[in-house]
Structure 1
Amino acid sequence: MGSGHYIWAIFFFASLCSASLANNAKINFREKEKKVLDQILGAGKYDARIRPSGINGTDGPAVVRVNIYIRSISKIDDVTMEYSVQLTFREQWTDERLKFDDIQGRLKYLTLTEANRVWMPDLFFSNEKEGHFHNIIMPNVYIRIFPNGSVLYSIRISLTLACPMNLKLYPLDRQICSLRMASYGWTTNDLVFLWKEGDPVQVVKNLHLPRFTLEKFLTDYCNSKTNTGEYSCLKVDLLFKREFSYYLIQIYIPCCMLVIVSWVSFWLDQGAVPARVSLGVTTLLTMATQTSGINASLPPVSYTKAIDVWTGVCLTFVFGALLEFALVNYASRSDIHKENLKKKRRDLEQASLDAASDLLDTDSNATFAMPLVRHPGDPMALEKLRQCEVHMQPPKRPNCCKTWLSKFPTRSKRIDVISRITFPLVFALFNLVYWSTYLFREEEDE
């Protein structure tokens, strides 16, 4: 038992010694990191105002490779023509003044949170309207210095960027919004920006936009020349496709329903003036309100948009239905006037025939003196002559339209019947031309 206690005491003592040595090693390792930082960034040893040398230590321009990670796109505003994006922005370059000993691979990199300790590229976003950094809970920024002198700068930022839009095909359009990054003070002789090889732009997988879909993105260069020199520039073109289902439900289907409701007036009796007037005025005002609401959500542009063509034609159809009732009302009053004239004429003819019959009955002695041949103005003779002319004329081919319209004796009724067929046919033809034109133009613009 004594020897057993002795062995356990030795084992416990050895464990304490190994733990103490490990803690001392960690402490010494962190102290070595501090010594390395003091060695490369100490006072009088590194000047952050001087840019790094070029590739392989030459006097050429410093090369900075850029890549971004798009975390979210919150909105795309058609009125102000801008969009908001949150991204992680990364830059990587080589500064040979920051080389250090990695202690046989144990020191992979040094981490800093103060960007002013090392030289930084003067990159800015040329189409930025607003922007801010994220400082909750700590500033979302870090700088990593690798043993070979490579520097990685990463920061999370939110930006509101300008996006000029062409709304001629709205809402069947696609928009290209750019993200431009350029050097502000260093020319291409001193600083060059390049996209990181491989995958320079990454997008979060579950990116959701309310009215758009991000179809694809393209990286390119946009170097600019000014009076002060040529400056390096990078850009990302984001291609957004507008979701049409929202506009189909909110605009196109309601407009179609208003146009169809205005056609109900053609089926109402021509004497129902209050019903037809109220229906026409109500649909016209509703369509005008719908049009003004659509225009309120868009900027005032000098060209005609696809939605303007649609709402304009729908408004024209509704207004045409109201004018059709005005024409029917006028034709109805004209038909009543003609019917009254015909009735008066028939009454006069009947009165003259009755007077002639009375005269013949009272003067029976004059019957033998009547000539056997009728006078040319005699109504019976004219009727027989007209019948002979009709039989002598060649038979005409029956006209289907005239035969069908002859079923409706009044002109006002004929106008209503023709409108029942003409308005839907013309509106269907307009839909065919509208959708084929803008959908094909959309494919051509792609």
Structure 2
Amino acid sequence: MVSATTAVTNALEDPSRSSKISEASRVLNTMLTNYDNKLRPGIGVRPTVVKVEMFVRSLGPISIMDMEYTIDIVLHQSWYDERLRYNTTFDSFVLSGDMVSLVWVPDTFFKNSKNIADYKMSLPNQMVRIYGNGNVLYGFRMSIIARCSLHMLKFPMDSHSCPLSFSSFSYPVTELIYKLEHFNIEMDETNTWKLFQFDFTGMSNKTEVVSTPAGNYMVMTFFFNMSRQFGYIAVQNYVPSSVTTMLSWVSFWIQRDSAPARTSLGITSVLTMTTLGTISRKNFPRVSYITILDFYIAICFVFCFCALLEFAILNFLTYNYKKTHASPILRYPPVSSARARALARARARQQEEVFVCEVVTSEGNDGEEHVSCSLQELPSPSVPEPPRGRFSGCLKRFRKYFCMAPECEGFTWQKGRLRIHLFRLDNYSRVVFPLAFFFFNVIYWLVCLNL
């Protein structure tokens, strides 16, 4: 009651205010009485030119799994409508959100959108401003979830350009044209954007005409360029992979007789690399190609597996060498006295010697027969020579370059050829593995940083 009394009092005290309200109502009624909002401006005469301006309020987050991103924008579209011209003292008329349907507006839709959320408090966040010369400004705010094809080959050093494309749904290029007069897209504070693993690097735009069965339509596209931050991936993947690979080399400093310790360390390293490879793909799209991160983890896995394989080879060679050169089992147990040892030798000789007797008939008429006996040693059993075939030839060629500990002693062993001591594999591995991993990292990072 007090508000109504105050409004009446103000109207009585300021008659010009009341006349302005009456004039504004009269102008709007005059413009909209015979106005058909179903027909575009310039129909049948010329195409309608719609000028576009965009204000980006926020960008992100970006979903790698779903290959989509979220963007919050305010889009302004302006065009000329001769039916809305007026000649009064007002510069413009602003229509609220519930009156937008009274005038014609472009049927703009976003081609790569998956979901659009309009902002509605008490009324939709949209407005129409009509100027006296017939220009119309239409603005609205919305949050868009749009598709963005992410090519992950260079992950985690990848850069992406996520598009936001819009076009008219029903008007072809002969009837409606989009125009970006000034490519000055305003942005809110980028430090409030939810990009997380990405850095915003800039924007670009493209306008093209797309042919469809329904006709040719003008499509305007804005590209939001982003590059991935490397710190998170380095901490989560690169550092653990490198440290695990280096830990697998600790087995080279453990004695080769400590099989349980070296085997446990090798298997643990291999399983850890397998887990890291699985975790790196946990929140990752199921692409058919490997990324540069997958390649790095795979090489680290190979290094860990080779460290385990090195011990398996060394253990196998050591076992077979000990078995071949083991001390023979004594036929008789050792005795303490010299006489006992002599008796043992005599007993062994008796077992190895036999009496051989033969009947000899003398010449002559009497034909006497004599028996002749002698002590003879049994022939030692011959050891069959190993078959000479393809295997013996391969073994012979193998021994040209590899040797065991006793065979490598002396100056006559394969003079002039490379000698690799198989029992010194650990010594070689302590140098070869770190050097190989170092050179791999140098080449890997030089190539990746120049992709």
Structure 2 gaps of 5+ residues are 1-8, 331-340, 347-409
Aligned position for 2:356: none
Aligned position for 2:94: 110
Match runs of 1:46-125 below 5 Å? 46-53=35-42, 59-103=45-89, 106-113=90-97, 114-125=99-110
Number of aligned residues: 366
Provide the rounded CA distance (Å) in 2 between the counterparts of 1:196 and 1:134.
Answer: 27
SS of 1:302's equivalent in the other structure is coil
Aligned position for 1:303: 289
Aligned position for 1:40: 31
Aligned position for 1:254: 240
Equivalent in 399, 416, 435 of residue 425 of structure 1: 435
Match runs of 1:21-420 below 5 Å? 23-42=14-33, 45-53=34-42, 59-103=45-89, 106-113=90-97, 114-199=99-184, 201-207=185-191, 208=193, 209-341=195-327, 411-412=422-423, 414-420=424-430
Which string of whole-angstrom CA distances, capped at 9 and with x for unpartnered residues, describes residues 7-30 of structure 1? xxxxxxxxxxx9766632222212
Provide the rounded CA distance (Å) in 1 between the counterparts of 2:138 and 2:329.
Answer: 100
Q: Which structure has the highest strand share of the two?
A: 2
- Answer whether contact 1:53 1:61 (CA < 8 A) is retained: yes
User: In the alignment, residue 429 of structure 1 is paired with which amino acid?
Assistant: F
Aligned position for 2:450: 440
- Answer whether contact 1:284 1:319 (CA < 8 A) is retained: yes
Root-mean-square deviation (Å)? 2.9
SS of 2:316's equivalent in the other structure is helix
Instruction: Go from structure 1 to structure 2 and tell me whether the alpha carbon gap of 1:315 and 1:339 turns closer, same or farther (over 3 Å shift).
Output: same
1:422 offset after TM fit, Å? 1.0
- Answer whether contact 1:262 1:283 (CA < 8 A) is retained: yes
Provide the rounded CA distance (Å) in 1 between the counterparts of 2:62 and 2:115.
Answer: 14
User: In the alignment, residue 170 of structure 1 is paired with which amino acid?
Assistant: F
Instruction: Go from structure 1 to structure 2 and tell me whether the alpha carbon gap of 1:24 and 1:426 turns closer, same or farther (over 3 Å shift).
Output: same
Q: TM-score normalised to the size of structure 2?
A: 0.75
Instruction: Go from structure 1 to structure 2 and tell me whether the alpha carbon gap of 1:110 and 1:102 turns closer, same or farther (over 3 Å shift).
Output: farther
The sequence identity of aligned pairs, in percent, is: 29
Provide the rounded CA distance (Å) in 2 between the counterparts of 1:69 and 1:342.
Answer: 92
Instruction: Go from structure 1 to structure 2 and tell me whether the alpha carbon gap of 1:270 and 1:188 turns closer, same or farther (over 3 Å shift).
Output: same
- Answer whether contact 1:267 1:416 (CA < 8 A) is retained: yes
Q: Which moved more, 1:90-99 or 1:267-276?
A: 267-276
User: In the alignment, residue 142 of structure 1 is paired with which amino acid?
Assistant: M
Provide the rounded CA distance (Å) in 1 between the counterparts of 2:165 and 2:11.
Answer: 54
1:134 offset after TM fit, Å? 0.4
Structure 1 gaps of 5+ residues are 1-17, 345-353, 360-389, 442-446
1:339 offset after TM fit, Å? 4.3
Provide the rounded CA distance (Å) in 2 between the counterparts of 1:76 and 1:318.
Answer: 35
Q: Which moved more, 1:334-343 or 1:130-139?
A: 334-343
User: In the alignment, residue 273 of structure 2 is paired with which amino acid?
Assistant: M
Provide the rounded CA distance (Å) in 2 between the counterparts of 1:418 and 1:324.
Answer: 11
Provide the rounded CA distance (Å) in 1 between the counterparts of 2:425 and 2:16.
Answer: 102
- Answer whether contact 1:91 1:152 (CA < 8 A) is retained: yes
SS of 2:170's equivalent in the other structure is coil
Which string of whole-angstrom CA distances, capped at 9 and with x for unpartnered residues, describes residues 88-133 of structure 1? 1111111110111231xx4433333222111111111011111110
Instruction: Go from structure 1 to structure 2 and tell me whether the alpha carbon gap of 1:156 and 1:428 turns closer, same or farther (over 3 Å shift).
Output: same
Q: TM-score normalised to the size of structure 1?
A: 0.76
- Answer whether contact 2:11 2:17 (CA < 8 A) is retained: no
SS of 2:40's equivalent in the other structure is coil
Provide the rounded CA distance (Å) in 1 between the counterparts of 2:248 and 2:294.
Answer: 20
Which string of whole-angstrom CA distances, capped at 9 and with x for unpartnered residues, describes residues 293-349 of structure 1? 1112111212221111111111111111111121121122133234425999xxxxx
